Amino acid sequence: MQEPRDRYERQGTHREDVVVLVSDRRERAERLARGIALVLPCRVIEPGAALPSDRPIAFVVDLATDLAAERGSAWIVWLAERVRESGLPCLYLARGNAAQDMAAVRLLGTPTVIDPRQSAGIVPTLMRLVAESQARGQARGQARGQAGSGVSGRGRRTGGPPEARVERATALVTRLFEEAAAGRPPSPEEAEEGTRIVLDTVSEVGIRAWLDLVWRHDLQVYQHSLSVAGFAAAFAAELGFSRSDRQRLAKAALLHDVGKALIPQTILNKPGPLTPDEMAVMRRHAALGADLLAKEGAFEPEILDVVRYHHERLDGSGYPEGLKGARIGDLVRLVAICDVHSALTERRVYRAPLSAAEAAAIMQAQAGPLDPDLLRVYRPIIARAGAAAGGPSVLD
């Protein structure tokens, strides 16, 4: 039996833009395909089959199979990789089992989820996703056309050498924390600009080069925020997130520690372990940061959750509220992993940065408190980042 990848590559050369419908329920697939074909070309494939020779513009996944139980299936893994790598819209038709649906969502790279019982909404939702994807593609083309002038799609100046962009991002984050220290919410516009710099630069030069540039600045918590945002940008790409979802995750990571601006410097910069009283003060940063951002009213609830809960753990061992399991949102789980990785691999005044292997081992030992499924997806980022000499930072 040929491997799925080989079968795909040996398909014919005629290619058409199509929606790929993956289904193991033939009658329903035929009905759904007829509906999709009224507005977009559609090809149906069954489990074990190769992708069509046509050019996918979106995926629709309608499988009765428990994807969580089928993680060992070579075809399921192969399909999920193709979906994530493509960066194309993916519409997942939920089964109604929360645990199984969540497992499928993670495996496929956070697709758009819709209840198949609301069949009237499937085709319009698919049309919207394809239209948004094509609009993003056009915007990227326009941005490339503007690259010579160093102007982004929003008219912001984000071009120039990576070193200059990191300088700009560092200045923006420094200003965000200075505003926070004065009791003023950070500027949403500056947070957006900083996030775009992180996403564009990490996409261009890779996570290791980003870290090398960021860690030239011995700016403690500001540097940590840029490191975590870089890891988040790389993680979002690994998961196949859309541009808007990448922006949301990276922005949440950039702002996750803003509450530390309200913590005394003597505690933030202490070169050794904190006393219990000092630790209690340090742990206030999560709630302080979320409350500060809430005053602005321009930051999404999901970002506020990341700022407030990024130290929560699935087993209830975290803070500030000791949340467990499903009470901890996916965006929080993602940033928590990036935050731990950054803390382990930054240089501290009392120790050298850990190697990639050491960081991976420690993080794997925390599977359970940290989301084990997401940790599995994150491992390549640990390897790509390696170990670099960062500036001092604080884990808690």
Q: What is the DSSP string of 143-155?
A: HHHTGGGTB-TTS
Query: If you count DSSP H runs as helices and E runs as strands, how many of each does the chain have, helices first?
Result: 17, 5
CA trace torsion 98, 102, 104, 110 (10° rounding): 140
What pLDDT, on the 0 to 100 scale, is given for residue 53? 83
Our count of domains for the chain comes to 2
pLDDT tens, residue by residue, 337-384: 999 999 999 876 556 788 889 999 999 999 999 999 999 999 999 999
Co-location of 253 and 365 in the same domain = yes
- In the block, tokens 């020779």 appear at 53
For 71-85, letters b (16+ CB in 10 Å) and e give eeeeebebbbbbbbe
pLDDT tens, residue by residue, 318-348: 999 999 999 999 999 999 999 999 999 987 6
Looking at residue 59, which CATH number applies to its domain?
Answer: 3.40.50.2300
What pLDDT, on the 0 to 100 scale, is given for residue 45? 92
User: Which tokens sit at 112?
Assistant: 């758009």
Distance CA 173, CA 156 (A): 16
Binned at pLDDT 50, 70 and 90, residue 7 comes out as very low
Residue 45: what are its φ and ψ, rounded to 5°? -125, 145
Co-location of 288 and 189 in the same domain = yes
**Beta carbons of 94 and 113 less than 8 angstroms apart:** yes
Question: Residue 396 corresponds to which amino acid?
Answer: D
Co-location of 192 and 245 in the same domain = yes
Among the listed ranges 131-135, 184-188, 253-257, 349-353, which one has the minimum average pLDDT value? 349-353
Co-location of 226 and 305 in the same domain = yes
What pLDDT, on the 0 to 100 scale, is given for residue 130? 86
Please indicate, yes or no, if residue 154 is contained in any of the structural domains.
Answer: no
CA atoms within 13 A on the CB side of 311: 19
Co-location of 32 and 76 in the same domain = yes
Looking at residue 359, which CATH number applies to its domain?
Answer: 1.10.3210.10
Co-location of 137 and 169 in the same domain = no
In percent, how much of the chain has pLDDT > 90? 43
**What is the domain extent for residue 329?**
162-385
Contacts of 371 (CB under 8 A, 6+ apart): 314, 333, 336, 337
Q: Give the residue from 227, 232, 220, 230 showing the smallest Cα distance to 260.
A: 220
Q: If DSSP codes are grouped into helix, strand and coil, which group holds residue 132?
A: helix
Co-location of 134 and 185 in the same domain = no
Co-location of 123 and 191 in the same domain = no
Question: Residue 83 corresponds to which amino acid?
Answer: V
What pLDDT, on the 0 to 100 scale, is given for residue 342? 93
Co-location of 363 and 230 in the same domain = yes
